[in-house]
Structure 1
Amino acid sequence: MSLRPLVLAAALLVAAATASADQAVLRIVDDAGHEVVLSHPARRIVALAPHLTELVYAAGAGEQLVAVGKFSDFPLEARSKPVISDAFAVNYEALAQLRPDLVLVWGSGTAERTKAKLRSLGVPVYEIEIRSVAGLADTLRSIGRLAGTDGVAQARAQAISNDWAALQSAYAGRRPVRVFYQLWDAPLMTLSNQHLIASAISACGGSNVFGELSTLTATVSWEVAVQRDPELVLTGGAPGEAAKPGRWAEFAQVSATKHGEFASIEGDLIARSGPRFVDGARELCMAVDRARQGLPPVVFPAAKAASATR
């Protein structure tokens, strides 16, 4: 009897097993172009920024979250997680003890040396940098794949995409309003059209008066800001907080000052590039529309606490 059929059969079995193993391996390229490879869906996830924590919960993987960054306070369940980092440092000893199989980092908000240190430890690091609502939805899908919670993540991503499309449609074709988004007042800081918040300004029929800046955020001079003559000055603030004109009150010739058009959007909604962004964009659209109509700004009430599936 020839051994050739037996050898061939054995080879096919090995090939099938290898193919099956390859299919089980998760390979995803992050927003910085790094390939992240996991041998199995992540069971122990660390999220080193508040919006990353929110994204993990929204993707249905909150139970796999073993540690978070400082100020990770939404949803309520996140407040019980160990905090192992802030904007400046990571507690690497605590991180090692947690034995994570995936660490999520914020691309533009995490220091390069921190990312390098994490990778040197052999921890799978997935870098996230969200610049659009489409990117936000894609990030949710990617987290769902990495965590093995595709169904929940896909549904949430689709809901966000649908809400965003409806918002854009509702405000399409309205008169443009010149908007200055104020990140800080001393020094005066704003953002460019590369920033996710700028996509909300555009969707609402606003025109970002510093949209052409070459960086995400930048310090600008009061002289140039006044020359741009914004019709509305927006800031991110605490829930229910009224916007204060601040130094803008010194410039009576500015349209926003003339008409008292200063509005504060809940910062955690609009400034975090997370799953509640469209809720913040909806507040922003209301502020832009009131300025468009010459109506006084409204103070937005605090958003109601939501569950992990919100």
Structure 2
Amino acid sequence: MKLIFALAMSVASASVLAAVSVKDDVGATIALAQPAKRIISLAPHVTEDLFAIGAGKLIVGAVNYSDYPPEANQIERIGGYNGFDLERIRALKPDLIIGWATGNPERQLDQIKSLGIPVFLTFSKKMSDVPTVLERLGTLSGNEAGAAKAAKSYRDQLAQLERTYAGRKPVRVFYQIWDRPLMTINNTQIISDVMRVCGGVNVFGTQVDLTPKVDVEAVLAANPDVVMTSGEPGMKTDWLVPWKKWKNLKATQNNQFYMLPKDSVNRMGPRLVEGGKAMCEALEKARQ
């Protein structure tokens, strides 16, 4: 009887240990009976996060634009900007779906949640939020050791950036994310925090909208030291043409226009520190 009781207690303890629970970035508690074995990623940075912590093998479905690391291109696609294939998602039998609170349309997220599958939402506002997400995903996927290693590497690199650029002369920046209509970002966007780490100041940081529309006159009135955007390597510089005609703009006078690597600076994943290095180097040039 003692042996049976001991075995029963052992099984019960194992069950308790297998259960995992974390809060996501919008405050919802995600509880799983055991670490996830089949995960669907609804954002490129989520896919990168999972591969970074050693959980890439658990991804059974991802959005069309999940393209890094290269192995991610082999994952089954479940949709993209125009919507998700709910039937395909259901057929893949995920036990966890990881989305993007501000990048996935609310209507689509509601449809996903209606499937009854746990949904963990990410939304990093600061560079320092990224490693915390890695650790939470490590808990949910049973990859705590890999997550701890990835988080430490990220934090170490971020700390180095902060030490290097602390106290630098502020540089006022207009960050262009679209040209027609002309759009930028506010201080809630993680790119603005990258600027802050580098000693940059977002000239439209106090805007209410995450991605506010602005006009040329507003940019001219703000008169930034630097105009930045992001894009693919070798991308044409057509976006510069409208700005170069404004001779009273400080950025034009000093030829301070920079294109940053799109994916590393825009995705709130482990490569964000690489994007941070690129931005910091650009702003350092602007100070010279």
Q: TM-score, normalised by structure 1?
A: 0.87
Write the distance in 2 (CA, Å) between the matches of 1:242 and 1:276.
24
| Alignment correspondent of 1:269 | 264
Q: Which residue of 1 aligns with 2:82?
A: 88
Other structure's SS at 1:36 match: strand
Query: Superposition pairs for residues 120-131 of structure 1, below 5 Å?
Result: 120-131=114-125
Indicate conservation of the 8 Å contact 1:245/1:257, yes or no: no
Q: Give the TM-score, by structure 2 length.
A: 0.94
Shift of the alpha carbon at 1:240?
3.9
SS in 1 for 2:184: strand
Matched, 1:113 2:113: no
Amino acid at match of 2:266: A
- Please name the residue that 1:296 is paired with: none
Please tell me whether residue 174 in structure 1 is matched to residue 163 in structure 2. Answer: no
Q: Distance in 2 between matches of 1:194 and 1:157?
A: 22
Pairing 1:55–2:55 present? no
Contact 1:87-1:109 at 8 Å conserved across structures: no
Give 1:1-310 correspondences, 5 Å limit.
20-241=14-235, 243=237, 244-293=239-288
Code of the aligned partner of 2:32: L
Change over 3 Å in CA distance of 1:13–1:60 after alignment to 2: closer
Q: Give the C-alpha shift of residue 250 in structure 1.
A: 2.7
Q: Quick one: distance in 2 between partners of 1:227 and 1:114?
A: 38
Q: 1:102 and 1:27 mapped to 2: Cα distance?
A: 12
Paired residues of 1:269 and 1:280 also in contact (CA < 8 A): yes
Q: Which amino acid aligns with 2:131?
A: A
CA contact (8 A) 1:133 1:161 kept: no
Verify the 8 A CA contact 1:242 1:263 in the aligned structure 2.
Answer: no
> Contact 2:127–2:194 (CA<8 Å) still a contact in 1?
no
Secondary structure, counterpart of 1:246 in structure 2? helix
Q: CA deviation at 1:241?
A: 3.6
Structure 2 residue matching 1:217: 3-state secondary structure: coil
Aligned length: 287
Greater CA radius of gyration, 1 or 2? 1
Unaligned 5+ segments in structure 2 are none
CA shift, 1:282, in A, is 0.5
**Percent of aligned positions with the same letter in both sequences?**
36
Q: Which moved more, 1:17-26 or 1:265-274?
A: 17-26
